[in-house]
Amino acid sequence: MKIGLLGAGRIGSLHASSLSADRRVEAIIVADVDRARAEALAVRHGAAVAEPDDLFDRVDAVVIASSTDTHVPYLLQAADRGIPAFCEKPIALDLPATVEAMEATERAGIPVQVGFQRRFDPEHVAARSLVDSGAVGDLYLVHSMTHDPEPPPRDYIPRSGGFHKDTLVHDIDAVRYVTGREVVEVYADGAALVDPVFAEFGDHDVAVVTLRLEGGIPAVLTATRRQPLGYDVRMTVYGSKDTLGVGYGPGLPIHRLADGTVPEDAYPSFVERFADAYRDEMTAFVDLVEGRRTTPCSIRDAYEVLRVAEACDRSYAEHRPVAVGEVS
């Protein structure tokens, strides 16, 4: 099959590596608004190059790893051509645009996979399996965290969509995925403590979000824009029969006071932490294109996650609990 890759940045480069290693992919065609960047990536993987709008008539499926503002237009083109699409999160930064893409792709009947890569992280997958099997027992509490090693550049902040939509959407989706339960209410708090520039844009860089899941189960999300020891993504699931720890391996960037050690091999970024997950999600997408599986993460999943993130925005702004049902 021929796969079109829209976007030749860091995520696009990761996906190009995974696709080029899959023997079922006979050709990759790369497109980027920066043609020189597309050509450089194509050379590394023996791929062809095309202009973004010319790509769709030359491929069997597309991987959309471009800037967020292009996601919906590219999904609409995929729907118009009737070809499967993989799209990085978020589909869009607002619900109406997300709904537009969702309805168009559903009318066209094309499969779409959204890039919430934690669904392919081996430990998150194992946690979901144990919860599903009943081995954890009744769920009592979930804690999910994303602590980045460094904040993004200043010019990224106003176009990020804010901390909840840019970062915590991964934790929201991971909690939904592992527990199999929807979020019904949120309370969001935080502050701009890493860099005052976030406050200039009405954003924050330290966050604590409490979720109320179906069945009354609480979940706590924490996030920071700076973790000085490395990239820190973890989840703990507490149940009546077992407690699960996700992300507590040797790459954990924690100063261990019990023995005084500071890890020398902590994950420097999400690329290293989720290397296996990024590979496996592309394998799953090729399976999807071949018709061997259904989508593991649909636009409807992305829509539900965005509703929760919108509720978090509203809760943070209004300093009150917000029912997700208020957001539509």
Indicate whether 96 and 133 sit together in one domain: no
| Alpha carbon distances (Å) from 64 to 126, 136, 192, 267 | 28, 37, 32, 26
Residue 178 belongs to some domain of the structure: yes
With the CA atoms of 14, 18, 19 and 22 taken in that order, what torsion angle do they form, in degrees rounded to the nearest 10? 170
**Do 262 and 68 touch, CB atoms closer than 8 A?**
no
Asked, for residue 37, whether it belongs to a domain, the answer is yes
Q: For residue range 121-149, what is the model confidence (pLDDT) as tens digits? A: 999 999 999 999 999 999 999 999 999 99
The answer to whether the CB of 321 falls within 8 A of the CB of 185 is yes
- Running DSSP on this structure, what letter comes out for residue 34? S
**Same domain, yes or no, for 321 and 185?**
yes
The verdict on residue 22 lying in a domain is yes
CA 87 vs CA 78, 92, 167, 178, 281: distances in Å: 11, 10, 17, 21, 11
- Which residue ranges of the chain lie beneath pLDDT 70? none
294-307 pLDDT, tens per residue? 999 999 999 999 99
Residues 53 and 129 in one domain: no
List of E strands, the chain: 2-6, 27-31, 48-49, 61-64, 85-88, 112-115, 139-147, 183-191, 206-213, 218-224, 232-239, 243-246, 322-323
Total of domains in the chain? 2
Residues 48 and 135 in one domain: no
Q: Are residues 198 and 319 in the same domain?
A: yes
CATH of the domain at 71: 3.40.50.720
Q: At what angle do helices 95-108 and 71-81 cross, to 10 degrees?
A: 10
- Taking only the tens place, the pLDDT of each residue in 239-268 is 999 999 999 988 899 999 999 998 888 999
Please state, as a whole number, how many other Cβ atoms lie within 10 Å of the Cβ of residue 283: 15
Range of the domain at 59: 2-110
Q: Is 287 inside a domain boundary? A: no
Rounded distance, CA 192 to CA 269, Å?
22
Block residue for tokens 């018709």: 291
Are both 151 and 256 inside the same structural domain? yes
In a domain, 294, yes or no: no
User: Do 248 and 232 meet the contact criterion of CB atoms below 8 Å apart?
Assistant: no
Helix, strand or coil, per DSSP, at residue 264: coil
Same domain, 75 and 52: yes
Is 27 within the bounds of a domain? yes
- Distance from C-alpha of 100 to C-alpha of 312, rounded to nearest angstrom: 22
Residues 10 and 80 in one domain: yes
Last-in-domain residue among 82, 110, 138: 110
Residues 92 and 127 in one domain: no
- 297: in domain: no
- Given 110, 138, 155, which residue is the final one in a domain? 110
Cβ atoms within 10 A of the Cβ of 117, count? Answer: 27
Is residue 134 situated within a structural domain?
Answer: yes
Two structure tokens written together for 37: 């960047």
> 299-318 and 169-179 are packed helices; what angle lies between their axes, rounded to 10 degrees?
120
Which of 110, 133, 158 is the last residue in one of the domains?
A: 110
Whichever domain contains 227, its CATH number is 3.30.360.10
**145 and 267, same domain (yes or no):** yes
Is there a contact between 288 and 111 (Cβ–Cβ < 8 Å)? yes
142 and 27 inside one domain: no
C-alpha 202 chain-centroid distance: 23
Residues 31 and 158 in one domain: no
Question: What is the model's pTM?
Answer: 0.96
